[in-house]
Every structure is written in C-alpha cells, then in structure tokens.
Structure 1
Amino acid sequence: MAVLSNSPYQSDELQKQEVAHQREVALDTLSEIANVFDFRDLNCFLSRTLQVLLPDLAAKASPAASALTQ
C-alpha cells in the first residue's frame, strides 16, 4: 500500500484536487465580496474591478509580473 500511495500518478491527482479546491474557495470568496458590494454576479464584479485589481495581484505574484504591468 505504501508504494501505491507514493506513486507519481496519485501525487499528481492529489495536486489537481488541491488546485481545484483552492480555485473553488477563491471563487466563493470573490462571489461573497461581489455580493457585499451589490454586484449582480461575479463576472460583472470582475469586469468592473479587474483593471484596478490586476496590477496589485501581479505585483504580489512576482517582481517580473509587476514590471510587466507597469
């Protein structure tokens, strides 16, 4: 059993599941924020705020990404 649980396939699958879970959590959080500010849906919220939010998000991602947005 120990050999199977350490297989690359299972490790890759667990990483995919974790990424999917983190994506779902992020979307839920963004939806709650959009709701607080009375946006009708998440797409509307993102389309109205992404231009303002993107430089800050990129700056937190990496110095290279920050330089590209400037």
Structure 2
Amino acid sequence: MDEVELVEQVRRRWEQGVPPKVIARALGVRPSVVSPLVRRIAAEAAASRGLGRVLGCWVNCGWSVG
C-alpha cells in the first residue's frame, strides 16, 4: 500500500468515526504511523469548514463611542 492509498484509507475510516488504534489494526500498520495522518486529516477538515454561516449581526447605535 503506497502513501496516497494509506491516507485515503485512513481518511475514509476517520470520517466514519473509527479510532486511530482501530484504523491501524485494520490496515496492518503501527498506531504511530496512523496518528499523525489522523491529526493532519482532522486539521485539513477543520480548515475547510471555515467559520460557518453568519446567522445575524447586531450593532447598537453607540458601538463606536468608547
């Protein structure tokens, strides 16, 4: 299994909510290989989510006065 395939396998299982140790066992690799991949995938997922949708914005008439 090459690096790209490993990352995709880890990503698919992580998105299903499988813990890193179980992912490692299923793929036949050490948890120390899977853990950094899970962290990287989680960071990419968080970055792609952004801040979300703006639901409202309230400003009162004295907001800029001190």
Q: TM-score if structure 2 supplies the norm length?
A: 0.33
Greater percentage in helix = 1
Higher relative contact order (Cα pairs below 8 Å, separated by 6+ residues): 2
